Amino acid sequence: MAATSISFSSVTPAQRRTLIAAALGWLLDGFDVMLYALVITAIVADFGITKATAGKIATLTLLASGIGGVFFGFVADRIGRTKALMLSILTYSLCSFASGLATSVAMLAVFRFILGLGMGGEWNTGATLVAETWPAELRAKAISVVQSTWALGYAAAALVSGFLLKYYDWRKVFFVGVLPALIVFWIRKDVPESEMWLERKHGTAATPNTKFSEIFSRPYLKTTMALLFMNFFGMFAWWGLFTWIPSYLQLPVSKGGRGFDISLMTIMLVALNLTGMFPGYGTFGWVADKLGRKKSCVLYTLLASLLVLLYARATDPRMLLLLGTPVAFFATGFFSGSGIIGSEVYPTRVRARALGFTYNGARTISSIAPTVIGYFGQKYGLGSAFYLCSASLFLSMLSATQLPETEGKISE
């Protein structure tokens, strides 16, 4: 079929701008959100709180992201994908800056909660915008490109925090987080709205067809629940692991860490993101086109579960660096599959809300991960607590076996 020969070089300028907008939004989302994980040790020392309390603040952010994902899903279906995308970016950017002004744990928690609302809204609005504007033959690859930019944001956050913590304090790190707000001006000027959404808006569809409850009815119910639980167990592992890896690498051995200085930690985190997480996200679309969406999700989550076990037992810096790459590759790459499958299963009228529920709803449930891993890390050491992350990834794999194969399909 001629359609299968479509390549990235054949997309229109408008489609490229759509992809860049969604990718930048997700990159900067990752930058702002992961700044907190990188300054946890400094905040714990400054405010005199425990790991469990620091984990609760991260939990609040994730809880809010689930709420924000569902909320912005409704907003995107009402006012358009691009407007909802801009609003979500403004929310997390301004609240990142505000986090640096916090004078108490309560203030910091409030700002991180509101930031989470924007964080949750960005993903499903950006993924929906790309899914509705890009050709079906390139959809998996395009969404994987968007997903992969989170790793670049995390790596940039590691570099910025590594420099600022060395010469300044954790507040300055958060102040840098306001910069993403600037791309809103470009999105407003140059990024077009989804034609699918515009056609739907000006159409004559009956109101009952736009009910959110549709994703819980046949033929969508099984897929909705499988995506929700694959994402939940995967996110419990991801947030439990990657929220605490910076502290794990920094803390003294006597406190359950590995005792590395800030410079070495920064190098290891940048390497983990650029050689593991980034290609893991980015190549999933290509793997999914070869093996199928379902098989790829099962393979990635299974390998991630096994690799996290090895990572939790490693003590040598070289071994941690060596294992960190495949752990990040497989433990993050499969999330691209969630956006791909969700975009191909659900119809335009509920797509943004469905993606918001199955991805960010899972974030809401998995929001307990930083607190749980922080609690067990305080009691048994973070390395031992990471075994829970391995078990959670195995459960994510079992959930992925219940997904449908959606390659080459998209609902109108």
pLDDT tens, residue by residue, 116-134 = 888 888 877 887 788 788 8
Residue 209 within any structural domain of the chain? no
Contacts of 369 (CB under 8 A, 6+ apart): 59, 62, 235, 236, 237, 238, 239, 240, 243
pLDDT at 100: 92
Residue 202 within any structural domain of the chain? no
Q: How confident is the model at residue 234 (pLDDT cuts 50, 70, 90)?
A: very high
Instruction: Give the residue numbers spanning the domain of 266.
Output: 14-191+214-400
pLDDT tens, residue by residue, 247-267 = 888 777 777 667 787 888 888
pLDDT tens, residue by residue, 79-109 = 888 888 888 889 989 999 999 999 999 999 9
Whole-model pTM: value is 0.75
Instruction: Write the burial class of residue 412 (CB in 10 Å: 0-12 exposed, 13-18 middle, 19+ buried).
Output: exposed
Residue 286 within any structural domain of the chain? yes
Give 17's Cβ-side CA count (13 Å radius).
15
Query: What average pLDDT does the segment 5-26 reach?
Result: 80
Indicate whether 374 pLDDT > 90.
no
pLDDT tens, residue by residue, 198-232 = 777 766 444 444 566 778 878 888 889 999 999 99
Q: How confident is the model at residue 112 (pLDDT cuts 50, 70, 90)?
A: very high
Q: What is the CATH number of the domain that holds 371?
A: 1.20.1250.20
pLDDT at 208: 44
Question: First vs last Cα of the chain: how many Å apart?
Answer: 21
Query: What average pLDDT does the segment 44-50 reach?
Result: 88
Closest CA to 330 of 276, 368, 406: 276
Residue 105 within any structural domain of the chain? yes
pLDDT at 110: 94
Mean residue pLDDT across the chain: 83
Angstrom distance (rounded) from CA 320 to CA 286: 28
Residue % of the chain over a pLDDT of 90:
20
Residue 248 within any structural domain of the chain? yes
pLDDT at 411: 53
Q: Does residue 192 have a cis bond before it (omega within 30 degrees)?
A: no
CA 388 → CA 78, 175, 374, 376, 391, distances in Å? 40, 34, 12, 9, 5
Q: How confident is the model at residue 19 (pLDDT cuts 50, 70, 90)?
A: confident
Residue 6 within any structural domain of the chain? no
pLDDT at 1: 35
pLDDT at 5: 52
Residue 211 or 378, more confident: 378
Total number of domains constituting the chain: 1
Residue 354 within any structural domain of the chain? yes
Residue 408 within any structural domain of the chain? no
Contacts of 100 (CB under 8 A, 6+ apart): 170, 171, 172, 173, 174, 175, 177
